[in-house]
Structure 1
């Protein structure tokens, strides 16, 4: 992985922070669904460039120029993210996001087609996928011109067509060929760890200037423990083991693992981290009095939306991790699915407990998941297994 690709990933993460800005001011079911739709569209774009960078060097010649155009489009989309659902006169937020996304995809498909010269059958796959993707851009652009439910439905239709077209392309013509397993796993690991870092930034935003108060500082440290647990559950064993499995795999199985376990399942991990970060920000905002609570977190409870972000985000990360383990052929400790269920069951409890207690219970469950993983002694598969 090159510094140029890291630069691209940082622009992507900037777009993630803008989605958090959209949801974080006042989380509601509507804004959370809107944020999820934008996350999916953003992930499709990032994932496509990760495959391209795996096929050819991103920092050289024509490809570098295309990547720079794509980064500019991604930056424009990121700037417009908080206004992505607010129609207005002229070139408004929804239209800017839609046009930037189309530019991202057109540049990607053009570069991939150019770089696929000499690989039998690959250009035909790209042309087939491009045709299906172009169909998906129609509801995307139409949705940007409308508002309300029609806007959301058309944008959902757009990414369903994109994802469905990709799966159809795989079924009819095979998966994209993976050249470097180490490059691919490193890119996904890096973007996940940057997202985890953003969850710490969200804690700082929630605490604001009240962080020096002992109750706020204590809750902020619980938020740090929660983030550290997520890091441990992926990077201590699961991530390195999956990297070895992918490196050892060959042929279609190798390409399928890359597509299913990384390109698709990592969307669950990233989404879980983003929503969990929003939940932690809401908890700290209430404890610090930023969102209307007192400095002890006792006067106000989490809303249902904030509880869904906090506990639902953690459950989504844990559930995505279990799927990741299965898709990469790793054993799953029997107690881990139970932890996912328990975290999901915290949703109604989160609106009844004081915010600090709701975060504390989640922290205890995640520490339990780490302890179970540690005590299970799960062996990291070697390249020969």
Structure 2
């Protein structure tokens, strides 16, 4: 045990790859995000969608810090894996109580307070591992110190919100995220972050997204329950996996490779900025889009599983916004990712976002199964267009955006 605490961090090399410890952490992290679907779906309202967004933002902030730490030092050696395991335990505890995050009981430790304390533990380990990874690098320790200061300040509204309830809790937890995020923004502007391995950083973000796409299919089982043998329910399940495949194709076929190449070929002084904005920030709408889309799919399947005629079941506005808004978020994140990574993106991606927005009010007036089918048809058409249309090809870094 003493050897672990006295061990020095092992710096990564430029060719470093993701470790099994990091992948394990990602699995637990995405499990926590999928629990937010349960929170937002009881039943879906615009308030519950906003509450889910706050938790998504808070958890995403912690994940990005662990990703940066794993890029600086090996996550499978010395003190880092021990810290990561404790952090996984904190994420798991948070995940267990997330569905009841706004429900207050008579216990001394109710769900909101447990969630707040688990998050504080998670961020405290963040700070400790970040300073450990910085070692004797003064600039990096200064950057970590700036971020740590606002993180600790954010704990005040977080705990206060957990002790209160209703609107006050929502506003205070939203303020906690703003305070926490401001530290990262200030640290990036004043001191900057150092990226040692572009390939590792790109790989970690790709892995967390593919895990999110895979685990989002849990919503199919949750919504279908025991009615999966019914024709409309089975069809909706097949549409859901088709949507997930389209999401995989839209990111991994070309976008991820072009952006990764842009990060790897960028001058060393610019890599930290590209990694911060194109990966740490722009990937949030990608992952959030998957989670909101999973909520929408779950609601479609839930309606169909109740045995009502499929043509008589319609989604409410909140569920429709989750279903189509998830796609809009995903496509917006992809556009921002590419623009921030290589400074350009096909204009067709902007058009696709606009089309998805225009389909939303139409879907509200369709049966739930038809609304899901319309979304699937749109995504399949988008994949087909990007596969065969020259105008949709992704430019490489430095090229002009195609007309």
TM-score (norm 2): 0.90
Shift of 1:359: 0.9
1:327 aligns to 2:340 (yes or no): yes
Contact kept? 1:301, 1:352, Cα under 8 Å = yes
1:243 aligns to 2:254 (yes or no): no
- For residue 104 of structure 2, the aligned residue among 82, 87, 112 is 87
Contact kept? 1:237, 1:380, Cα under 8 Å = no
CA offsets per residue over residues 267-324 of structure 1, 9 Å max, x none? 10010000001111111222232xxx61x41222101111011011111111111111
Contact kept? 2:31, 2:215, Cα under 8 Å = no
Summarize the Cα distance change of 1:209–1:319 in structure 2 as closer, same or farther, 3 Å threshold: same
1:160 aligns to 2:178 (yes or no): yes
SS of the aligned residue for 1:147 comes to coil
Range 95-104 or range 331-340, more displaced: 331-340
1:8 aligns to 2:8 (yes or no): no
Shift of 1:379: 5.0
Summarize the Cα distance change of 1:280–1:132 in structure 2 as closer, same or farther, 3 Å threshold: same
The equivalent of 1:98 in structure 2 is: 116
Range 279-288 or range 265-274, more displaced: 279-288
The equivalent of 2:15 in structure 1 is: none
Q: Counterparts of 1:99 and 1:19 in 2: how far apart (Å)?
A: 17
Range 373-382 or range 51-60, more displaced: 373-382
SS of the aligned residue for 2:216 comes to helix
SS of the aligned residue for 1:210 comes to coil
Contact kept? 2:342, 2:398, Cα under 8 Å = no
Q: Counterparts of 1:121 and 1:217 in 2: how far apart (Å)?
A: 56
Q: Counterparts of 1:278 and 1:129 in 2: how far apart (Å)?
A: 32
Q: Counterparts of 2:232 and 2:90 in 1: how far apart (Å)?
A: 42
Q: Counterparts of 1:7 and 1:330 in 2: how far apart (Å)?
A: 33
1:355 aligns to 2:340 (yes or no): no
CA RMSD of aligned residues (A): 1.9
Shift of 1:29: 1.4
Unmatched segments (≥5 aa) in structure 1: none
The equivalent of 1:345 in structure 2 is: 358
The equivalent of 2:381 in structure 1 is: 368
1:53 aligns to 2:70 (yes or no): yes
Q: How does 1:207-286 map to 2 (within 5 A)?
A: 207-286=224-303
1:121 aligns to 2:139 (yes or no): yes
Q: How does 1:193-204 map to 2 (within 5 A)?
A: 193-204=210-221
Q: Counterparts of 1:153 and 1:382 in 2: how far apart (Å)?
A: 41
Contact kept? 1:117, 1:123, Cα under 8 Å = yes
Q: Counterparts of 2:252 and 2:369 in 1: how far apart (Å)?
A: 27
Contact kept? 1:248, 1:383, Cα under 8 Å = no
Runs (4 or more) in structure 1 with deviation over 3 Å come to 379-385
Contact kept? 2:158, 2:173, Cα under 8 Å = yes
Q: How does 1:33-48 map to 2 (within 5 A)?
A: 33-48=50-65
Contact kept? 1:207, 1:216, Cα under 8 Å = yes
Shift of 1:49: 0.6
Range 120-129 or range 151-160, more displaced: 120-129
SS of the aligned residue for 2:342 comes to coil
Summarize the Cα distance change of 1:11–1:337 in structure 2 as closer, same or farther, 3 Å threshold: same
The equivalent of 1:318 in structure 2 is: 331
The equivalent of 1:137 in structure 2 is: 155
CA offsets per residue over residues 86-140 of structure 1, 9 Å max, x none? 1223111111111111111111111211221232411122112211221111111
- For residue 169 of structure 1, the aligned residue among 187, 190, 193 is 187
